[in-house]
Structure 1
Amino acid sequence: MIQSLDRLKIGDKFFNSRLMLGSGKYRTMEDAVNSIIKSECEIVTVAVRRLPTNLTNDNTSFLKFLDWNKLWLLPNTAGSQTAEEAIRMAYLGHELACQIGQENNFFVKLEVISDPKYLLPDPIGTLKAAEFLVKKGFTVLPYINADPMLALHLEDLGCATVMPLGSPIGSGQGLKNLSNIQIIIENSNIPVIVDAGIGTPSEATMAMELGADAVLLNTAVAQSNNPEQMASAMKLGVQAGRLAYLAGRMKKKSYANPSSPLNQISQLL
């Protein structure tokens, strides 16, 4: 029921799943393909730099083994240190999308990271690249620090989402920026996707309970002992968090309150 009535809208596309998966760091191609299938995600992000420029004659890429009638490619500008590099990767990403039959796919996960140690996104470079790509008709999903003001600026530019990090990429530290992520969610009129740092299904659930519209993760699945099983667990964690958010939690009370009040029991007798 939740899938048919509560869909995620990014740009002009609708999705049933609110879990997005990355495609790097898997031990084998089979792990990557099977984990994506088990997760039942509908958006798969791929670093453009890691793909061959021509998929037609390449039979080694895992992209060949996925059903792109059911999945949507999210090209990623990972590895770009400047806005100019990211813009170039965005155009290459669209060309790769065309090669798998998604000619109308102008989605791009925008990453501009000039810091090689902590891999924190560059806000100035991200703004610059986002403004250019939005004007060129791209559906821009920018990866950012959990900065509420930056999120508002990117929304004003016309970005389709904002993607604040929970903690540094691949760290598995969980949600270290809860208060700022909460502010971003409360003030955003576009989907908020928590990206990076999530290590467990409970952390994915927490992000969704806050009101995030989706979660994007990679390392937590790819580097687990059993990637397929972890992908299934993440799917359930995201679904549980979304259902809980829609249901609305009970109000916290200062004192204990019996689950079976005496006046309620007397009414039943």
Structure 2
Amino acid sequence: MKLLKKIGLMNAAMFTVLILTWIFVYAGAGLPRAYAWFSLKMVIPILGIAYLLLNVTLWVINVIKKKSTKKRRIGFIAAILLSLHLLLLMNIIQLPYPSRIQNAQPSVTVNWPFAGKTVVGWGGDSLNTNLPHITWASERWAYDLVMEPFNTGSHNPEDYGIWNQEILSPASGIVIAAYDEEHDIEPGSESFLSMEGNHVYLKLDETGTYLLLNHLKQNSLTVKIGDHVQTGDLLGRVGNSGSTSEPHLHIHHQRQNPVLTPHPVLAEGLPLYFEGTDTVPMPQKGTVVSPSF
């Protein structure tokens, strides 16, 4: 009680929230850990900034009234610690979502989604090979796939090799989402309407988990909600819709139904492997992949 009185109730509450959130991240599992991780990156920094503003206000009041500012100093420390979690969100501090591949089950092995030679733009189980994805729970083992030429810097989507390429269903399953009404944006622009853009989501027959394919071309889908697709069936074509720097296919595997999750990152990402190619089952960034089927 003496310590609580010395620190202050609000300061103690802030330290407790921060400590418990980190405990959930590293000692928890499943969806609660995904929510805790989301809170560290998205909620805690906002809380910290708000608490910093509150402490500044209270500090000014204490100075004017000539009262002790000792608790305010502790409050500043708490607020700064909370606010520094912005560095996680901005990837200035790079931490992978703490889910180990051997413990994240079920994994799934599917076919390659293209009939031609493809390059893994991002993929794998390390920060160096999968930085945009590995720091989020749902996209822990996601891939971004491109084709030569890519990274051209062109503002014309037709200058990218993967533009308008056919996407083949990697596995059999039920189509639970099929949307292709968003316009394709100019490469390098930020005029997107949603993070995912046009997409197809499958509930896999094998595991009952979900495969998400994003950034498809407007008006290119060949399937609709409720369709049952087989491995190799045509789903649509690659576009440049959603939050994307250039035409590519984003694909990842997760436990929760993406249609029902309140936010795209509030889900458990699961390992995704590929068979029927000339390379390893989990290809990393820079790997050139040719299907053998």
Instruction: State the TM-score, normalizing by the size of structure 1.
Output: 0.24
Larger helix percent: 1
Compare relative contact order (CA 8 Å, sep 6+) and give the higher one, 1 or 2: 2
TM-score normalised by L of structure 2: 0.22
